Amino acid sequence: MSDDHLQRFAKKVVELQERQQQRVDEQLMLEVARDLGMSEAELLRVRDESRAAKERARALRSAGNLDEAIDQLETAWAFNPLDVEIAYLLADGLYTRSQRAGDARRQEWQRALDLCRRVLEIAPAHAEAPALLNAIKNNDPSKQSAGVPVGLIAVGIVLVGVAVLGLLAWLL
């Protein structure tokens, strides 16, 4: 099987997911493979590639290479969007990266939220997904205010206090 088949398969599956015309399931993946002229052996290779990419992603994440881990998870997910663990790991990675970069990665935060919700739709008893979903929701970048630095608040309180004392001294 050529790498071209793998790439075309992954591209088609991702395209269908992004359009969200229909939920990608085992039957749809078989239809895509058949439409591309892939054999069952080639489809098994796709799944092997997905597993290998997931394991590389885990190793990269453990080594602190978040960006490369996310790239591997994207590949794994494109080859096998039915793997709940890949979706969870990708959601976690995207959320973590979005927290490091703030507003610049708002789309990644949203995608992490969508993926985590999908994990819970498919596997409601997933052990870690509820906590991740909570963390994602609680750190919505659109709801976080820029905030006033604590130092500025302290200076304001001191200035108000001095003004009040000055006013009292003047009145007495």
3-class SS shares of the chain: helix, strand, coil, % to 5: 80, 0, 20
- Domain assignment present for 54: yes
Average pLDDT estimate for 90-114: 89
Contact by Cβ (8 Å): 14, 78: yes
- The number of domains in the chain is 1
| Structural domain of 97 | 3-147
In a domain, 94, yes or no: yes
- Find the length of the chain: 172
Indicate which CATH number applies to the domain containing 69.
1.25.40.10
Task: Tell me if 51 is assigned to some domain.
Answer: yes
With tokens 């927290």, the residue in question is 99
Q: State if pTM tops 0.95.
A: no
Q: Tell me, yes or no, whether 119 lies in a domain.
A: yes
pLDDT given for residue 161 in this prediction: 59
Residue 40 lies in a domain: yes
Q: In the prediction, which pLDDT does 166 show?
A: 62
Is 104 in contact with 79 (CB distance < 8 Å)?
no
Query: Would you say residue 165 lies in a domain?
Result: no
**Cβ(29)–Cβ(35) under 8 Å?**
no
Query: Does pLDDT of 80 surpass 70?
Result: yes
